[in-house]
Amino acid sequence: MRHTEFWARLESALGPAYARAWAGQVVIGELGERTASEALDAGEPPKTVWAAVWRALELPASAR
């Protein structure tokens, strides 16, 4: 997964106006007590970050 796909999926789940704010504010324990944005900036693969976001948001399997 590329960063662009990660952001497209998050925008699809939360809406384009809220996705980036959510990614920069919500701390996810599974990502080492970091936000999604922090994890991506630290070099975590977007696929790994998406999996953690998917679980945190309790999205349907179709969004996996």
**Count of the separate structural domains present in the chain:** 1
Contact 49, 6 (CB under 8 A): yes
Average pLDDT over residues 41-60: 96
Residue 24 has what pLDDT?
A: 97
Average pLDDT over residues 37-50: 98
Calculate the average pLDDT of the chain: 96
User: What residue numbers bound the domain in which 59 lies?
Assistant: 3-63
Q: Which residue has the tokens 């994890």?
A: 39
Q: What is the pTM of this model?
A: 0.92
Percent of the chain scoring above 70 in pLDDT = 100
Structure tokens at 14: 């939360």
